Structure 1
Amino acid sequence: MSRRSNGLMGIWAETQRQQQRQQEARQRAAVQAQREAERQQRALERERARLDREQRQAYRQSREAEVRRRNEELDARVEALASLLATGCRAPAFGTAALARPEQVPAFSPGHLGQPVAMPDPNRYRGFGTRAQYERDRQAAQAAEAQRQQQLAAYRQQYEQWAAAQLQEIRQYNAGVGELVAALRQGDPDAVVEYFSAALYASARPDDFPHRLSAAYDPGPRQLVVDWELPGPDVVPAVKSVRYMPTADEEKETARPVTQRRAIHRDLLAQCVLLAVHELFAADEFGMLESVVLNGFVDDHDPVTGQRAQIVLASVSVARPVFAGLRLAQVSAVDCLVEGLGGQLSARPDQLAAVRPVRQPGDVGRGVVSHGGDDDPDLFEMDPIAFEALVAELFRARGMQAVMTQRSNDGGVDVEALDPDPISGGRIIVQVKRYRKTVPPTAVRDLYGTVQGAGANKGVLVTTSGFGPGSYAFANGKPLTLVSGEELVGLLQEHGLRGRLGPGSGAPGPAPDGTGVPGGDDGTGVPDGHNVLGMSWSGRVALDVCALVCTGGRVLSDDHFVFYNNPRTPDGAVRAVAPSAADKAALRVAFEALPAQADRLVLAAAIDPAVNPDADLSGFTDARIRLADAAGSELGQLEVSDGRAGETALVLGSFRKRASGDWDFVVGGKGYAGGLEALVQEFGIEVA
């Protein structure tokens, strides 16, 4: 009895021990699982912290690198101004040989037309029915080859006509140079002035310095009298250095002391005068100059009369033997000009304190020749054919072959150019639009159709006005280049050609792509002439789409951040609107109504934490921005980058304001693991 009782108790006790062991195992497993989850969470947090540190470090390094670049540019600018005279003296002297142009034109380069069409290989056609296919492919290749040869012959004939015209133009120009040199040898005053004016225009001065002069030659004493424009004080950087303040995430500029700017500018004026005299004597091949009188002036408002005037800030009369005894690379420019040569230099040029000129070109009693100023032709008033010829000349100045097309049956082509570059070159179709208002996107679409129909490699649209976002959106990713009026003037100046936009220095402000009058109001608080940015993407992830109106990388204010809690900017230029059926989100933007200081409109998307709290942007794919005008007509589509795993906010791209006032789209792609909060903090918004 007792043995049986002990057996039952043993079995029960063993069962209890097994249950206890199982329970303990489960508890240990649960504790281990919890510890593993905590370990993984800590690892995830460490990884996120590491990525955040790396992003912050990379961002700080990029800002510090930008500051270093700015400081290097400031130092280099000041050094270039301080060494202008020494650098100019090392430059080769100007001579009559520099006036002549070589009698040669670029060799004929057929581009893609020089490649024969490949004939099909009969060995690749085997099997039943392939013989007929081979014959069809062979006939098609032969037809394409015949067309190529025909186009090649036409293009060669066009090139030969252009080359003959170019050679004739060069020979006529060189004949004129020969006549000038002959007149120069004989001491003709007009020839002397023209030649030495060319010598000054070839001066080794920075491109942003003015190049305006008036001159006359007195053959009796063989004296050249020149009024030569000097740079203003704004050429000296007002900023001495820049520091990056990481705590405030901003750049702090240290102003250059006013006394230092004055000293640098005054020394620069003396250098400019001495360098000009040096270049005139160095260019004198035939002994035409016994002395030079040079007056340096600035074009500004006279502080006495308030009228615009040429104010002389430096003046000197120099005889050749005296100047020949100077070692200009080692002199102090101010001391040399004032003490060594007895010249005059304004004590306070920043206050336009004038000096009395020794002698001026009008005192010579002969005709005065002037160069520079407002003599550049007005592109708006230029004859249309002359304007097209100027654009063709610009392409030739850039090393291309360029010819104007016939006025009739040109198929929408004003200029045809051929870029000889074997990689990026080829046939270029150029259209010229002399507009005062914004070029409509339809003109860009028409150019693209012309390029495709002509089989060209590229299309270029040149205008005197500008382009709207719709035009840039359509041209994005296509072989098209859009050249606005301001860019055209810059290219002309870069290649020694002349042209200006209207009586002033600036072009009239372009209107936006849409309908309506810029600056008007449609009754909704949004200016007319707006565009609609419709955004769509694949995947079911819910996103908040927002916009930031910025200057550089900083938002103008918290009110210029448009998102679900702030649906519009204070001026109504940007606002969220209901999307169309084809879009998932939309913004309405009046680019012309954005604040004057705004140069960037940043578009971003972030996970909606209320709908998808655990989602990331791996489901954000096939995204695009559809650009439409005020009437809803689509102007183009802008591709944006896909999202990535682990990121919850993404910069889609930004519209950036060009110097011409046009807005161009730049694709983004920078992602943030910290969501919208991390994104907006980088643009200067403080998140409580």
Structure 2
Amino acid sequence: MNADLASEVSELNALLAHTLSINDTIQFDDLRLEDDFPAFTIPTALAQAPTAPVRNTIRPPGFVARMVPGASKRHQQALLIEEQRFSEAISAYENAAIKHTSAINNERKKHKTSHDLFLAKVRQRNQEVDELENAYRNAEADAIVTYNTMVLEKSRYPENFPQEFRLAYVPESKELVVEYELPPVAIVPEADSYKYVKSSDSINGKPRKKADIKDLYQDVVASVALRTIHEIFEADQMDCVQVAVFNGFVHGVNPATGKDMTSHLISVRATKETFLGIDLARIDKKACLRNLGANVSPRPDELQAVKPIVDFNRIDKRFVEQSDVLADLEARPNLMDLSPFEFENLVSNLFDRMGLETKQTRSSRDGGVDAVAFDARPVLGGKVVIQCKRYRNTVDVSAVRDLYGTMLNEGANKGILVATSGYGQDAFEFSKDKPIELIDGGGLLYLLKEVGVNARIVFPTDG
């Protein structure tokens, strides 16, 4: 029992190290099927062919036997009987041989039919793989999600890990967001060791300290997050993913209400350039996550939640929009048709409805500020500076630096940059450890929908 316990804990401690020796890249050729259908073999029941009958030899009577009256006649009768038997045996043999050949031919037909179906399956599968590979190499969003889904599904965890997740991809910023279900704290064994007590002939378990459970569970949460990001970046063949976001959540029961609850225990965003510069075999996981600007629960064993750096639903809604009825879509206002002032006013009204006290600045006197909001909440609240970018192109890091400078000049607690497009990886890298929130076009549409405003973003196609 102690050996099993040690093995279980060792497996949890090695979650991150396990993936470092594995190449997580999906080779498309490995997904294709080959014609390895088994050759036809005669079934065992038909392996033995009917045996041709042998004519019995009826020897004529000898000199002495012929002296016996009727001997010659009996010899003739024996010849006739044997001829009759042999004729019937030949007929039965020929019928059996025909049936045997027919049965083998039927089995050959069945084999050919099965082989044809298998070949059709091979052709269909290989065509699907070809289409997926072409779409992936053309950086199509759905293909990138499918490819990375296969990458994460291939990752092997202990049997009692849920391994349930959702993916969303933002082409403009090459950002992949992973919403990942973590194992519950029960994954950590409650017993620290077992001991046999001779006097009572029983085995007693020594409980694991709560602090040790918390530390080991924190390590599991950190390992899954870093391992997932590592697998995504390592498997990225076409540089389709420049930014990866991992939101790890767990299902549990709210001790105050007894109702089911979902708590995010970790949220981390990493750029590919930064993450690939980390030696995962030598890091301290907590220090690494701090350096990446991760939000990590201080008490994951008590389901103490943190705020996701990127709300998955905001990203996901970006793709759901595409499935709406066209008539409804066309009826929505296009944010790109608004003037800069109208767009700033729209954003100000949005944050008003979200509970902030927002004031739009005058264009000629804004000093880089499009709107100022005040969050009335104690401790967490304060002054918020908002800038709006009605852009068709990716917002680069300079806009984020300008926002941060404005925050310092205004003495603001937080800065929010709202854009109709997306952000580059440098923008995410600059803002990761600062009180700055970047809202892209998909996030903006999601927030507008949450307050009852249906809109769309259609970029002009002219030069």
Q: TM-score, normalised by structure 2?
A: 0.57
Where does residue 645 of structure 1 map in the other structure?
none
1:520-539 paired onto structure 2 within 5 Å: none
C-alpha distance in structure 1 between counterparts of 2:90 and 2:199, whole Å: 71
The 3 A distance-change label for structure 1 pair 157 and 343 is same
Where does residue 115 of structure 1 map in the other structure?
47
The 3 A distance-change label for structure 1 pair 308 and 158 is farther
Say whether 1:178 aligns with 2:130.
Answer: yes
Contact in 2 for aligned 1:196/1:280 (Cα 8 Å): yes
1:93-492 paired onto structure 2 within 5 Å: 93-97=24-28, 100-108=31-39, 109-113=41-45, 115-117=47-49, 119=51, 147-245=99-197, 248-303=200-255, 306-337=258-289, 339-364=290-315, 365-367=317-319
State the shift of 1:264 in Å: 1.5
Secondary structure of the residue aligned to 2:142 is helix
Where does residue 79 of structure 1 map in the other structure?
10
Deviation per residue, 1:2-34 (Å, 9 max, x gap): xxxxxxxxxxxxxxxxxxxxxxxxxxxxxxxxx
The 3 A distance-change label for structure 1 pair 244 and 185 is same
Aligned residue-pair number: 298
Where does residue 21 of structure 2 map in the other structure?
90
State the shift of 1:318 in Å: 0.2
The 3 A distance-change label for structure 1 pair 281 and 256 is same
Taking only the aligned residue pairs, the percentage that are identical comes to 28
C-alpha distance in structure 2 between counterparts of 1:98 and 1:303, whole Å: 50
Contact in 2 for aligned 1:103/1:170 (Cα 8 Å): yes
C-alpha distance in structure 2 between counterparts of 1:168 and 1:331, whole Å: 50
Deviation per residue, 1:48-91 (Å, 9 max, x gap): xxxxxxxxxxxxxxxxxxxxxx3322221211111111111111
Deviation per residue, 1:519-568 (Å, 9 max, x gap): xxxxxxxxxxxxxxxxxxxxxxxxxxxxxxxxxxxxxxxxxxxxxxxxxx
Where does residue 672 of structure 1 map in the other structure?
none
State the shift of 1:267 in Å: 0.4
Secondary structure of the residue aligned to 1:104 is coil
- 1:355 partner letter: V
Deviation per residue, 1:385-407 (Å, 9 max, x gap): xxxxxxxxxxxxxxxxxxxxxxx
Deviation per residue, 1:583-623 (Å, 9 max, x gap): xxxxxxxxxxxxxxxxxxxxxxxxxxxxxxxxxxxxxxxxx
State the shift of 1:125 in Å: 12
Contact in 1 for aligned 2:298/2:304 (Cα 8 Å): yes
C-alpha distance in structure 1 between counterparts of 2:195 and 2:102, whole Å: 64
- 1:357 partner letter: P
**Cα RMSD (Å):** 3.5
Contact in 2 for aligned 1:281/1:289 (Cα 8 Å): yes
Contact in 2 for aligned 1:239/1:256 (Cα 8 Å): yes
C-alpha distance in structure 2 between counterparts of 1:125 and 1:268, whole Å: 87
Contact in 2 for aligned 1:239/1:254 (Cα 8 Å): yes
Deviation per residue, 1:249-292 (Å, 9 max, x gap): 54433333333222222101110000000010011100111110
The 3 A distance-change label for structure 1 pair 253 and 146 is farther
Contact in 2 for aligned 1:94/1:283 (Cα 8 Å): yes
Contact in 1 for aligned 2:53/2:93 (Cα 8 Å): no
C-alpha distance in structure 2 between counterparts of 1:125 and 1:265, whole Å: 90
Deviation per residue, 1:388-432 (Å, 9 max, x gap): xxxxxxxxxxxxxxxxxxxxxxxxxxxxxxxxxxxxxxxxxxxxx
Contact in 2 for aligned 1:222/1:288 (Cα 8 Å): yes
Deviation per residue, 1:663-683 (Å, 9 max, x gap): xxxxxxxxxxxxxxxxxxxxx
Contact in 1 for aligned 2:151/2:231 (Cα 8 Å): yes
Name whichever structure is richer in helix by fraction.
2
Secondary structure of the residue aligned to 2:318 is coil
The 3 A distance-change label for structure 1 pair 116 and 90 is same
Secondary structure of the residue aligned to 1:355 is coil
State the shift of 1:208 in Å: 2.7
Deviation per residue, 1:623-646 (Å, 9 max, x gap): xxxxxxxxxxxxxxxxxxxxxxxx
State the shift of 1:118 in Å: 7.0
Contact in 1 for aligned 2:32/2:129 (Cα 8 Å): no
State the shift of 1:245 in Å: 4.8
Structure 2 spans left out of the alignment, 5+ residues? 60-77, 322-463
State the shift of 1:156 in Å: 2.5
The 3 A distance-change label for structure 1 pair 231 and 368 is farther
C-alpha distance in structure 1 between counterparts of 2:269 and 2:259, whole Å: 28
Higher relative contact order (CA 8 A, sep 6+): 2
Deviation per residue, 1:458-494 (Å, 9 max, x gap): xxxxxxxxxxxxxxxxxxxxxxxxxxxxxxxxxxxxx
Secondary structure of the residue aligned to 1:237 is coil
C-alpha distance in structure 1 between counterparts of 2:285 and 2:86, whole Å: 81
1:611-622 paired onto structure 2 within 5 Å: none
C-alpha distance in structure 2 between counterparts of 1:148 and 1:241, whole Å: 67
Secondary structure of the residue aligned to 1:92 is coil
Structure of greater Rg:
2
- 1:343 partner letter: A
Contact in 1 for aligned 2:28/2:129 (Cα 8 Å): no
- 1:325 partner letter: G
- 1:92 partner letter: N
Contact in 1 for aligned 2:2/2:193 (Cα 8 Å): yes
Secondary structure of the residue aligned to 1:366 is helix
Contact in 1 for aligned 2:37/2:118 (Cα 8 Å): no
The 3 A distance-change label for structure 1 pair 178 and 142 is same
Q: Between 209-218 and 232-241, report the one with greater CA deviation.
A: 232-241
State the shift of 1:163 in Å: 1.8
C-alpha distance in structure 2 between counterparts of 1:94 and 1:85, whole Å: 17
C-alpha distance in structure 1 between counterparts of 2:54 and 2:10, whole Å: 69
Contact in 2 for aligned 1:298/1:313 (Cα 8 Å): yes
